Amino acid sequence: MTISFKISENTKEKMIEYFEDKKRAKTPAYAIFQADEADTVVTLYESGKVVFQGVSADIDANLWKETEKHLNPNANINEKSSKEKKKKEKESLQVNPKIYYASTIGSDEVGTGDYFGPIVVTGTYVDKENIPFLEELGVKDSKKLEDEKILEIVPKMIQKIPYACYVLSNHEYNEKYNSDINMNKIKAILHNKVLMKMTTQFPNVDYVVVDEFAKPNVYFNYLKDTPSYRNITFMTKAESKCLSVACASIISRYVFIKEFDKLSKMVNTTLPKGAGDAVDQVGKQLVQKYGFDILEKIAKLSFKNTTKIKNI
């Protein structure tokens, strides 16, 4: 069990004094100390955040919550616990059968977290009659499927599932991205493009579902100067609750893999996915080989990786 909350300066002083003889030799980054209290590991951070981990975490946390309340009667203790987190995660994964077993249009995107490669947004229409076919095919969130499985099932899927796909190349992304057009606005514009196309083609659909990457009012504010489809059901983890979103996620991934392979062949290098250290190292090698302009064609220059590549 893990429990955390913030404490005031006077409670920090009490904790530092109490745990003086119980401190561990090593201290995590930004922590004042880490100590053992029977079956609980207690970590106090410079920010005032205190974390209790272990079998008796709730007992020790309650003791220090009471101390905080006693010393600071007006303090507002915002406790976070691993139990509460798991409960919320479970609730967020609950499937609404009215939506799952309906005819739906859903959209999802891939590539927004990858330095190399394009952004791909797909919208799909799933008639409720095709739900058994998709379940038998093993359709679910593309993040849980290996690339080999995606390459296998998408050609079968698109024989029955209508879709619209938009690929935003790195060059287009680098032209569009600025202080007024951030990643979420780009995503909203692309989602709207595929939804407008699919809802025109299938106007009598039961639900139109989007995996919520921005609150609805923020999403529609991004589109205030654009004709937009508005009758949308926004859902967190929608790819696990709605098969049209799952299909959109998988098809987007399929297209992304194909486009990513083309870029790798173009630079004669296996490009790494994501935005980690391996990306920085390969980026540096490519700049040394082809010049900095190569990144304009294969990378999202707004990412922090660009600065790191310059400084390696």
Span 80-106, pLDDT tens digits: 876 666 655 554 457 899 999 999 999
In this prediction, residue 94 carries a pLDDT of 77
Q: What is the DSSP string of 263-299?
A: HHHHTTS-PPPSSSHHHHHHHHHHHHHH-TTHHHHHB
Contact status, residue 241 vs residue 141, Cβ threshold 8 Å:
no
Mean pLDDT to the nearest integer, 174-187: 88
Mean pLDDT to the nearest integer, 184-202: 97
Q: How would you class 73 by CB atoms within 10 Å of its CB: exposed for 0-12, middle for 13-18, buried for 19 or more?
A: exposed
CATH code: domain 97-262 is: 3.30.420.10
Contact status, residue 163 vs residue 108, Cβ threshold 8 Å:
no
In this prediction, residue 110 carries a pLDDT of 95
Contact status, residue 247 vs residue 108, Cβ threshold 8 Å:
no
Contact status, residue 35 vs residue 45, Cβ threshold 8 Å:
no
Distance, in Å, from the CA atom of 77 to the CA atom of 45, rounded to the nearest integer, reads 16
Distance, in Å, from the CA atom of 75 to the CA atom of 206, rounded to the nearest integer, reads 48
CATH topology of domain 2-92: TATA-Binding Protein (3.30.310)
Long-range contacts of 282-285 (CB under 8 A, 24+ apart): 283/115, 283/308, 283/309, 284/309, 284/312
Please report the sign of the dihedral spanned by the C-alpha atoms of residue 162, residue 109, residue 120, residue 265: negative
Distance, in Å, from the CA atom of 44 to the CA atom of 48, rounded to the nearest integer, reads 7
Contact status, residue 8 vs residue 68, Cβ threshold 8 Å:
yes
Query: Which residue would you say has higher pLDDT here, 1 or 173?
Result: 173
Mean pLDDT to the nearest integer, 304-310: 93
Predicted confidence band of residue 33 (pLDDT cuts 50, 70, 90): very high
Tens of pLDDT, residues 148-167: 999 999 999 999 999 999 99
Please report the sign of the dihedral spanned by the C-alpha atoms of residue 275, residue 281, residue 287, residue 292: positive
Contact status, residue 33 vs residue 19, Cβ threshold 8 Å:
yes
Percent of the chain predicted with pLDDT > 90: 80
Instruction: Find the angle CA(281)-CA(282)-CA(285) to the nearest 5 degrees.
Output: 90
In this prediction, residue 85 carries a pLDDT of 61
pTM: 0.72
Distance, in Å, from the CA atom of 152 to the CA atom of 246, rounded to the nearest integer, reads 16
Please report the sign of the dihedral spanned by the C-alpha atoms of residue 27, residue 33, residue 39, residue 40: negative
In this prediction, residue 301 carries a pLDDT of 95
Partnered with residue 211 across adjacent β-strands are 235
Whole-number average pLDDT of the chain: 92
Parallel/antiparallel/unpaired status of strands 104-110 and 40-45: unpaired
Tens of pLDDT, residues 225-264: 999 999 999 998 899 899 999 999 999 999 999 999 999 9
Tens of pLDDT, residues 34-91: 999 988 999 999 999 999 999 889 989 999 999 999 999 888 888 887 666 665 555 4
Percent of the chain predicted with pLDDT > 70: 95
Question: How far is the first Cα of the chain from the last one, in angstroms, to the nearest whole number?
Answer: 41
In this prediction, residue 91 carries a pLDDT of 46
Contact status, residue 22 vs residue 37, Cβ threshold 8 Å:
yes
The domain segmentation of the chain, as residue ranges, is 2-92, 97-262, 264-311
Parallel/antiparallel/unpaired status of strands 233-235 and 207-211: parallel
Query: Which residue would you say has higher pLDDT here, 138 or 230?
Result: 230
In this prediction, residue 145 carries a pLDDT of 86
For tokens 């309650």, what's the residue? 62
